[in-house]
Chains A and B, each alone.
Chain A
Amino acid sequence: MKKILKGAAALSFALACSLGAASAQEEGHSAAEPTHFPIHKPEQMDWTFAGPFGKYDKGQLQRGFKVYKEVCSACHSMNLVAFRTLSELGYSEAQVKAIAAEYTVQDGPNDAGDMFERPGIPSDYFPSPFPNEQAAAAANGGAAPPDMSLLAKARGVERGFPQFVFDVFTQYAEGGPDYIHALLTGYGQEPPAGMAIPEGTHYNPYFIAGKSLAMAPPISDDQVTYDDGTPQTVDQYSRDVSAFLMWAAEPHLAERKQTGFSVIAFLLIFGVLVYLTKKRVWRQVSH
């Protein structure tokens, strides 16, 4: 056993050296013509849902939902989220009904065989702003705005070695919201001298798939009114909508972490019992 450990130690040291040498070679591309994106890695934010005891801040989710409803939803669908789940944001049944009724949902066919429109009910899902993906693309310069249901899990900037190893221990799983926040607050910077920005796109050094993106800066200070006195800044909007999107992508996050705590506590106790039993059983046998 000791020898295995020694071997493992030597192994990890050698690995660290070789990988360190390798990642050093990654640097050194020109500022005007970057080949790897994003140009800047997103800043790591503090989230209430991070860590082993993380849970969503309902106030923040409600604010984020407001930002989604008043800003993002003009272009971005959220097909997988049902109105009924909004009760997890702290809304009452009546409030959920009222929110659902603000949306128009296509239903049918009726007895005459026609499709018809009616106000939404809690069991409906958020309707798309465009009838289909082609229409969405046509209205947005050829690039359909992505659905937002899973956006917070579908985006994440690579952490690189050795950071990804540490992430296992720190439980870093907020790459999605960090990225969304960084992207939303990353507009308005001067591109480096000599960098060509294609017509109709907007420079953003945090964009994961290029130097610029088709989406114009979507939000500005004081665009959405907060009732609870929270500052109405782009930074705050971005935090809130990122948290909301994390909830939309992973609604059972808090339940998952709470279950995890009990499971791990049980495994530790059971583990100690089994270890003592094992010691007792093997006591008379040298091995």
Chain B
Amino acid sequence: MSGGHSTYTPKTGIGRWIDARMPLPRLVYDSFIAYPVPRNLNYAYTFGGILAIMLVAQILTGVVLAMHYVADTRLAFDAVEKIMRDVNSGWLLRYLHSNGASMFFFAVYIHIFRGLYYGSYKAPRELLWILGCIIYLLMMATGFMGYVLPWGQMSFWGATVITGFFTAIPLVGTWIQELLLGGFAVDNPTLNRFFALHYLLPFMIAGVVVLHVWALHVVGQTNPTGIEVKSKTDTVAFTPYATIKDGFAMLLFFLLFAWFVFYIPNFLGHPDNYIPANPLKTPAHIVPEWYFLPFYAILRAITFNIGPIDSKLGGVLAMFGAIAVLFVVPWLDTSKVRSAVYRPWYKLFFWLFVIDAIFLGWLGSRPAEGSYVAMAQVATLYYFAFFIVVMPVLGLIETPKRMPNSITEAVLAKNKGGAGHPAGATASPETKG
């Protein structure tokens, strides 16, 4: 997958034999051992690896849960409870899976914010960024459908509300909704297809992840300075340098994960989902899973008609627009400088955006009444303004800080007075043992 030339030389006869027929070991060597990564990556860059391991974890726990789950409205709730009560280690696997989804989204949000901060989407990494956005969309679909499967009150009413978005589409809306539901309301056909799709989509995510990594290995990683790799001294080998650092970050992440799974496994869930779905009784407040809350707040912020668009369609458009705008970020940012490190004003607006997104998330969990609506409208306005106004305009008027000439120079400047051997001189993959 590496764009550069391969340095793999099989040492054994069997190695040469395989290499001549199907060079898989060469691919692995070039992509995950010799692959050069910038030497100045910080821990924000470890979330790609964390996400990969979380995807694997979700698929593994999901497959074993599917061995016990029954996708039937009369049995689904009890099947999940049977996993929790009777199946050996069932409670562990189920809590790993439900909290794993939250951890997955937590990691992906840090990954996305890191990309926005360091300008990882800028040329030539537009496709890499778009593939990431597709993964995020697929994750949202998977997460939403997975939440329906336990068939609790929030499952049912969340599914009802979200499929209700489609009725906002003029003319064909109701037709599309009925197509999705397989009926006139969320019922057994809906649960069955959601289970089938919830099982399928993670494998589609895995497919797009392969493309994402491929695209990454063609253009190479960005780094906190945003300066492209210029010489060998700018990089270190993926193994052992990046692998061990990613490994350490993963362990810290697992600690957080374990804290939730073993001590507060229902903290991120909603109590109402322990009540079996009842199509005749809506819970007092319908709230989606926490990772959808910012978008839920944007949906509900549009309480007014915009010209010919009524508030219902307006809300749905705003919500989908909030995700769609991510796809065009590479072309919205006009700055010639990649990293926020050298863009003082962008840095300010970026952190405001982070606060805004978290604030929107909190508003999404509040009932849509009183001052919350007004606050959600202001926060939604900034959300879109960040992309549509700040990104294009700031790039044209901002004066960036002076940048170093290379990654090596930046590293040496940072470690001034300390010991700064050029990486290539003393460290090569062979020094690891």
Give A150 to B359 CA distance when docked, in angstroms: 32
Q: Which chain B residue lies CB-closest to A13?
A: B355
Flag whether B351 is at the interface (Cβ < 8 A).
yes
Contact among B245, B261, B372, B426 for A260, CB-based, below 8 A: B261
Q: Report which of A154, A257, A275 forms a contact with B262, defined as CB distance below 8 A.
A: A257
Interface residues of A (CB under 8 A from B): 1, 3-4, 7, 10-11, 14-15, 18-19, 22, 25, 52, 80, 85, 146, 149-150, 153-156, 161, 167-168, 171-173, 175-176, 209, 249, 251-252, 255-257, 259-261, 263-264, 267-268, 270-271, 274-275, 277-278, 281-282, 284-287
* B275 close to A286 (CB less than 8 A): no
- The answer to whether A274 and B248 touch across the interface, beta carbons within 8 angstroms, is yes
Asked whether B42 is an interface residue with its Cβ less than 8 Å from the other chain, the reply is yes
Given A175-B271, A277-B244, A278-B245, A10 and B351 touching (CB < 8 A)? yes
Is B266 a contact partner of A173 (Cβ separation < 8 A)? yes
A168 to B260 Cα, complex, angstroms: 8
| Contact indicator A22/B265 (Cβ below 8 Å) | no
In the assembled complex, B371 has its CB within 8 A of some CB on chain A: yes
Q: Hey, which bits of chain B sit against chain A, CB under 8 A? A: 39-44, 78, 81, 84-85, 91-92, 95, 236, 240-241, 244-245, 247-248, 251-252, 254-255, 258-259, 261-267, 271-272, 274-275, 284, 341, 347, 351, 354-355, 358-359, 362, 370-372, 375, 411-412, 415, 418-421, 423, 426-427, 431-432
Closest residue on chain A to residue B251 by CB atoms: A271
State the CA gap A14–B359 with chains docked (Å).
10
Q: Given the known inter-chain contacts A80-B81, A271-B251, please indicate yes or no for A249 contacting B274, CB distance below 8 A.
A: yes
Cβ contact of A286, chosen from B272, B370, B420, cutoff 8 A: B420
Chain A residue nearest to B42 in the complex (CB): A1
- Judge whether B263 and A257 touch: CB under 8 Å: yes
Q: Is the CB of B419 within 8 A of A286?
A: yes
Partner of A209, one of B284, B371, B421, B427: B284
Q: Which residue in A3, A4, A150, A173 is a CB contact (below 8 Å) of B264?
A: A173
Give the distance in Å from the alpha carbon of A209 to the alpha carbon of B285 in the complex. 11
- Whether A154 and B274, one on each chain, are in contact in the complex, defined by CB atoms closer than 8 angstroms, is yes
Query: What's the nearest-Cβ distance from chain B to residue A84, in Å?
Result: 10
CB-nearest residue of chain B to A248: B85
Q: What is the CB-to-nearest-CB distance from B133 to chain A, in angstroms, rounded to a whole number?
A: 23
- The answer to whether A284 touches B262 (Cβ under 8 A) is no
Q: Which residues of A contact B240 (CB under 8 A)?
A: 281
Q: A11-B351, A155-B271 in contact; A284/B284 too (CB < 8 A)?
A: no
A167 touches B267 (CB 8 A): yes
Q: Quick check: B351 and A4 within 8 Å, CB to CB? A: no
**Contact A25 to B264, CB < 8 A, known contacts A284-B427, A286-B415, A286-B418:** no
Residues of A within 8 A of B43 (CB): 1
A100 to chain B, nearest CB (A): 17
Q: Tell me the minimal C-beta distance from A8 to chain B in angstroms.
A: 9
Q: Is the CB of A15 within 8 A of B358?
A: yes
